[in-house]
Structure 1
Amino acid sequence: MNTALREAMAASQLTDTDVAAHLGVDPKTVRRWMTGQRPYPRHRWAVADLLGVAEADLWPDEEPSPTPPPSPHAQRVYPHRWQVPREVWHDLFASAEREIGILVYSGLFLADDAGMHKVLAEQAQRGASVRILLGDPESQHIQRRGEDEGVGDALASRARNALLLFKPLCDLQGIEIRLHSTVLYSSLFFTEKRVLANQHLHGLPAAKSPVVVVDRATSPDMAETYVRSFELIWQEAKPATR
C-alpha cells in the first residue's frame, strides 16, 4: 500500500481516473501504483509534478545509495560550486591563522557577501596575510572565457563589479588585491589548512563546475600543487589601483 501516494492524491482532490487521464494510462495502472507497485521513472516524475510533491516522498529509494569510498587525496568533492554551503566558505576563511588566498575571474559570490568581507578583514587584523587575485577586466582571456561560456562581455562586467566591491579591503593592512591576465583552469580558495579548487570546464560557468576539497595536512603534495599555481600567477599579476 502506497499511503503517501493516496494522501497526496487526496490532498490534490484527484482520483485514480483523474491521474490516469493526465498521464495517458489506464486507471487500473494508477490503482496498482496505489497498492504498492512501483511505476516506471517517467511515470513517477509525471505523478510527482502533477501532485506537486517530491518523487522521493512518494517512492523512496528501494535501497540506500552506497557511500563512495573516501579518496586518499580529496577530503570531499562537490559536483557544483553552488552546492558548497556558505558555512563551508565561512569556516575555511575564519579558520585561517597565517594565510588566505583567493584566485578567481570575478568571485562575485564572495565579493557581494558583506559577511565574507567581515571575515577576511578580521583574519587580516589577527595577522593572516590575505591575497586576492581577480581577473583583469581588460584581459583577452576574460573576454575569451565569456565567449566560451556564452555570456559575452558579462564576465568582464562581473570582474569589474567584483573589483569595486573588494576595493575597500585594500585599505586594510594585511590585505592585497592584484589583477591577473591568466587562463584559469581552476579557481582557488585556500588557507594554511585546506584548499578548495573549483575546476573550470569549457562552456560552463565556475558555479556549475566541481569543487575539490584538499586537506593540506593529509595531502600536502596535491595541496601544494594548487598553491604553487597561485604563487606563479601572483608573481605576474599587477596591483589593483583605485
Structure 2
Amino acid sequence: MPNERLRAAIRAAGLTIENVAEKLGVDPKTAGRWITADGRIPHRANRRDISKLVGVDEVHLWPSLAESLHTKPNTETELVHLYPSRSAVPFSLWTELIASVEHQMDVLVFSGQFLVEQHNILPVVQQKASQGVKFRFLVGDETSTAVTQRAMEEGTTGGLQGRIQMMRRYLSEIADLSTVEVRTHGTILYNSLYRFDDQLLVNGHAFGALAGQNPVLHLRQLPSGLIWDNYMRSYDRVWEQALPEPT
C-alpha cells in the first residue's frame, strides 16, 4: 500500500512533496515515490531528515523499521500530532488507519455518521470481521437527556437525533457479525474516541461547537502511556453501562 502515514504527516506539517524534495535536495519524483511506491523506504539520512521536518518519529512513518538497529527508537511521547479541528485531519489518515486495523477498532461517538458516508467503513468492517478483527461501536441513544442537551448546545435540535438514528440503521447491517458489537449510551460525551489498534484519535468537545470544529489529538499506545490509558479507561466505563443493540 502507499505510505499514507507519510502523506498525512507531510500535509499536517503544512508541506507538499515538492517542499520536502527541495528541503532534502532530492528530485520531486524520487520524493513522490516514497509515498506512492509499495514498500519504498528512503535512505537512512533522508528518513532522519524527513522525520525531523514533519515532527514525527521514523518508526511511525515506516513501521517495518521498528526492529532495525540503525533506526532511532521512538521517543517516549504518545502525541503523534495535534490537529486544530476534526475537519483538519487528512482524509488519507482516516483511510490509512481504518484500512490498517488488524486486531481491534473501538469507536465512541453520538453519531459518527461520517465514518460510513465519507469513509465507507461498512464493507471494511465486513471484510476484516471475517478475518477475526474485533469491532466495538458505542453510539448515542437519541432519546437520552445527554443527546438532547448536546443538540441544544450546538444548535442542531432534532438534527443530531436524526444523525444518530441514521448511524444506528447503518450499523444494524453489521451488528450480527460475530466479532462486531454495537451498543448505545446516554452519557455526556466529553470526547469522541476512535481507536485503531495502537493508534487513537481523540476529538474533544467544546461547549456550543460542532464536533468537526473541535481539536483532535492523534495518540499512539506506549507501554508507559498514561494518556492512552486514561482515555481507554473512559471508553470501557461507557461500554460497561451501555445497552447492546439487538441484532
Task: Give the TM bin, normalised by the shorter chain.
Answer: 0.5 to 0.7
Secondary structure of the residue that 1:225 maps to in structure 2? helix
Residue 211 of structure 1 corresponds to 216
The one of 103, 106, 109 equivalent to 1:98 is 103
Contact 2:85-2:212 within 8 A present in 1 as well: yes
Task: Give the residue type in structure 2 aligned to 1:75.
Answer: V
Whole-angstrom distance in 2 between the partners of 1:219 and 1:210: 24
Counting aligned pairs with the same residue, the percent is 30
Give the one of 150, 169, 179 matched to 2:184: 179
Per-residue deviation, 1:163: 0.7
Q: Which residue of 1 aligns with 2:112?
A: 107
What is the CA–CA distance in structure 1 between the aligned matches of 2:54 and 2:131, rounded to whole Å? Answer: 39
- Select 1:82's aligned residue among 79, 87, 100: 87
Match of 2:128 in 1: 123
1:79 is displaced (CA, Å) by 0.8
- Which of 197, 207, 214 matches 2:202? 197
Using the size of structure 1 for normalisation, the TM-score is 0.68
My pick for the range that moved more, 145-154 or 113-122, is: 113-122
- Most deviating of 89-98 and 104-113: 89-98
Which is worse superposed, 165-174 or 181-190?
A: 165-174
**Whole-Å Cα distance in 2 between the matches of residues 196 and 103 of structure 1?**
11
* Structure 1 residue ranges without an equivalent (≥5): 1-66
Which letter does structure 2 place at the counterpart of 1:182?
T
Give the letter aligned to residue 106 of structure 1: S
CA distance in 1, matches of 2:224, 2:118: 30
Match of 1:149 in 2: 154
Runs (4+) off by over 3 Å: 67-73
**What TM-score do you get using the length of structure 2 for normalisation?**
0.66
Contact preservation (8 Å) 1:73, 1:218: no
The structural deviation recorded for 1:84 is: 1.4
Letter in 2 for 1:124: A
Q: What's 2:237 paired with?
A: 232
Larger radius of gyration: 1
Task: State how 1:153-168 maps to structure 2 within 5 Å.
Answer: 153-168=158-173
Is 1:199–1:210's contact at 8 Å kept on the other side of the alignment? yes
Map Cα deviations across residues 145-190 of structure 1 (whole Å, 9 max, x no partner).
0000011121111111111112101122211110001001100000
CA shift digits 1:16-71 (9 cap, x unpaired): xxxxxxxxxxxxxxxxxxxxxxxxxxxxxxxxxxxxxxxxxxxxxxxxxxx89779
Q: Secondary structure at the match of 2:175?
A: helix
Superposed CA RMSD in Å reads 2.2
In structure 2, the CA distance between the partners of 1:132 and 1:69, relative to structure 1 (3 Å rule), is same
Structure 2: gaps of 5 or more residues: 1-52, 57-75
